[in-house]
Amino acid sequence: MEVRKYKYWIILVAVLLAIFIPISIYYFSTDNSEDNGPISKLIIDHDGGADDAMAIFMALLYEQYFNGPTLIALTTTHGNVNESQAFLNTQRVLDIAGRRDVPIYRGSKSSLVMSVPAGDWFGVDGLGDNVNEPIEPIEAHSKHAALGIIKLVNKHPGEITLAAIGSLTNVALAIQLEPELISRLSHLYVGAGHVYSESEPTPEFNAEQDAEAYHVIMQNATPDKVTILPFSQVGTKNITRQWREEVLGAIQTKIMTSLNQFERISLQYANYWSLLDPIVLGVLLNDTIVGDVKYSQNSIVLCGQERGINTNSFTTKEEANVKVINRIFQDDFKKLLLTIFSAELYN
């Protein structure tokens, strides 16, 4: 009797081992780094244009209505406008959203090495050059954006997703000061650059604004932590200006009315609508819009005629420094925008 009982135990243990050993081998050899679960905390580093405004509104609405990540800070940089204007625009956006509580950290006023003048695609003030009511100022945090990012990431290691949707100066500075920065993030999304096109190699605005900063980030990037959204892969001509104006723009909320005014100038330039910054936020908030992701070894040309042009080679995970979003589902992105921006109407 005793011996038989003992035998059953051995069989039971053997069966359990037979089940759990393969499961654990599978588990530890599979890359689960993609499966970060829901993002908990978000920082947006941005350059103050109408496209940044839309991205920030998306984050705030997702936080409020879809249990999305908490926007714990906005950091400002130069790009669509100078940094002073980006700071003013950040205050306006937070004021419109009724979220004056979100901390603003002011960042770089110029590039690391060679500054490029601010753009005026969205108007001289970046928000459509409307005649605006003055708003009650919001005070900036005393720390520089790069130090603010480091402080927050060290306070919440592994929890923060950083969306870099302007010139990359602040993020590069933060990495130079804290080389462990990227490994301590949950993820870094960079909206910048193009996938290299042999027939038409051109620099992309955000990458060109601070090419050295892009270089610094690529030197420190690992594909489990860094995802690039190149404008060439997402800035397609599939979404029309008519859809932007008559469908998205028809949503009757204070936020959409403001965005329509902010894009007043830029919308006139083309019959299609493609803004990178809202796509970065779309991908980060709900990755069901991602159509195709590739591992890539990404870099940027710093010298000569091709300065600012990205190079990349699609490769294996082991050789890659980043993941590149190669395609997004445009229709799903449109649906996501409609869902986010109309949420206020139904809640």
What does the binding site for ligand NAG look like in residue numbers (CB under 6 A)? 66, 81-82, 84-85, 124-125, 236, 238, 286, 288, 327, 330
Tell me the closest approach of the beta carbon of residue 234 to ligand NAG, in angstroms. 8
Q: Of 201 and 291, which CB lies nearer to ligand NAG in the complex structure? A: 291
Q: Of 220 and 286, which CB lies nearer to ligand NAG in the complex structure? A: 286
Tell me the closest approach of the beta carbon of residue 38 to ligand NAG, in angstroms. 6
Looking up tokens 């406008």 gives 81
Q: Of 7 and 327, which CB lies nearer to ligand NAG in the complex structure? A: 327
Q: Of 85 and 296, which CB lies nearer to ligand NAG in the complex structure? A: 85
Written as one letter, the residue type at 175 is I
Looking up tokens 């790009």 gives 79
H-helix or E-strand spanning residue 219 = helix 211-220
CA distance 48 to 26: 45
CA distance 272 to 274: 7
CA distance 17 to 11: 10
Tell me the closest approach of the beta carbon of residue 335 to ligand NAG, in angstroms. 6
Q: Of 297 and 326, which CB lies nearer to ligand NAG in the complex structure? A: 326
CA distance 310 to 205: 11
Tell me the closest approach of the beta carbon of residue 323 to ligand NAG, in angstroms. 18
- Geometric angle at alpha carbon 190, from 196 and 204, rounded to 5°: 40
Tell me if 227 sits within 8 A of 189, measured CB to CB: yes
Q: Going along 29-69, which residue ranges are E strands?
A: 41-46
Q: Of 68 and 308, which CB lies nearer to ligand NAG in the complex structure? A: 68
Sheet strands side by side (includes 187-191): 104-105, 70-76, 41-46, 160-164, 187-191, 226-229, 322-328, 290-300, 310-314
Q: Of 77 and 286, which CB lies nearer to ligand NAG in the complex structure? A: 286
Query: Taking phi first (over 0 means left), then psi (-120 to 50 degrees means alpha), and beta for anything else, what does residue 114 get?
Result: beta
Tell me the closest approach of the beta carbon of residue 291 to ligand NAG, in angstroms. 7
CA distance 324 to 193: 11
User: Residue 76 pairs with which residues in a beta bridge?
Assistant: 46
Q: Of 122 and 214, which CB lies nearer to ligand NAG in the complex structure? A: 122
Tell me the closest approach of the beta carbon of residue 3 to ligand NAG, in angstroms. 56
Span between the terminal Cα atoms of the chain, in Å:
67
Tell me the closest approach of the beta carbon of residue 210 to ligand NAG, in angstroms. 17
Tell me the closest approach of the beta carbon of residue 125 to ligand NAG, in angstroms. 5
Q: What is the largest CA-CA distance in the chain?
A: 92
Q: Of 81 and 276, which CB lies nearer to ligand NAG in the complex structure? A: 81
Spatial CA neighbour of 44 closest among 340, 281, 338: 281
Tell me the closest approach of the beta carbon of residue 162 to ligand NAG, in angstroms. 19
